[in-house]
Amino acid sequence: MSGVRVLPVTPTLGAEIQGVDLRRPLTDADLRAIRGALLEHVVVFFRDQPLGDEEHIAFARQFGALSPAPFGPKHPDHPEMTVLDQDAPKGQGGDSWHTDNTFMEAPPLGSILRAVRLPPSGGDTCFASMYAAHEALSEPLKRFLEDLRAEHDLTRMLRQTILDGNDGGADLATMQRDWPPAEHPVIRTHPETGRKLLFVNRNFTTRITGLHPAESDALLQLLLEHVRTPAFQCRFRWEPGSVAFWDNRAAQHYAVPDYSERRVMHRVTLEGDRPF
């Protein structure tokens, strides 16, 4: 029997999980409880978890194989871990609604983010349910979007990352060759829940294929603005020892750039599947 307690944050998404020590291997019951909470609530939060880097990685591995980010600053001792070390975050990509690494043919299943150093105030992260975003669309628009596909490209984000000096040594031409644009359905079916969700994001989705450019631009802008609807969202205030684990298939997130003192976060991502 699991000792895990799941406390919903909003009716739409988000839950705080209590009754587990992430520094220790999870029991089968706790693993099932956390996975179930993730699938139901899209993002789950843990408090008072003083994890080290190796414990963070070990916790993530219990949910699947790791998917190191193709670009971005890496931990010097753990290349599978991305280090987000910022004190001037505005315009660096985190402050727009996005899903991690959708330029990949198989984007990550999820991401696990841990607070390492926090500013005195600010630096919250907002999350949005793409289930809710899909459900709120009109029935005619849902039917129109059902068979459409969109292109996801790393170029714009990587170019900005290189300008900011946070590329981890990535070369734009090499990365474009190794990671050509991927095409995914605009409306994705979650592989575990079977629920439909909206799968376009501001950082990587460049166009809706099969439409004229003006049509693509107008429709994509409508959908990206729709994602920002507050009713789809929850907001997480970081504290020392906080951990967030989100389902990258069904969530978007936004890092609020309202701080000017150093904020350090460590992130590990899990290998995902090709959207359908």
For the beta sheet containing 233-236, the strands, ordered from the edge strand earlier in sequence to the opposite edge, are 233-236, 125-129, 251-255
Q: Known catalytic residue: 56?
A: no
pLDDT in tens, 80-109: 999 999 999 998 888 999 999 999 999 999
CB hemisphere CA count around 264 (13 angstroms): 8
pLDDT given for residue 168 in this prediction: 60
SS3 200: coil
- Fold topology of 5-270: Double-stranded beta-helix (3.60.130)
pTM here is 0.95
pLDDT in tens, 31-65: 999 999 999 999 999 999 999 999 999 999 999 99
Q: Known catalytic residue: 100?
A: yes
For the beta sheet containing 110-117, the strands, ordered from the edge strand earlier in sequence to the opposite edge, are 5-8, 15-18, 43-46, 243-247, 110-117, 263-270, 82-86
Q: Known catalytic residue: 134?
A: no
Of 30, 100, 153, 247, catalytic: 100
Of 114, 190, 253, 263, catalytic: 253
pLDDT in tens, 181-222: 999 999 999 999 999 999 999 999 999 999 999 999 999 999
Calculate mean pLDDT across residues 146-159.
94
CA trace torsion 137, 143, 147, 149 (10° rounding): -20
Going by pLDDT thresholds of 50, 70 and 90, the confidence category of residue 167 is low
Domain boundaries, the chain: 5-270
- Residue 165's contacts (CB-CB under 8 Å, 6 or more residues apart) are none
Of 56, 98, 263, 266, catalytic: 98
Q: Known catalytic residue: 267?
A: yes
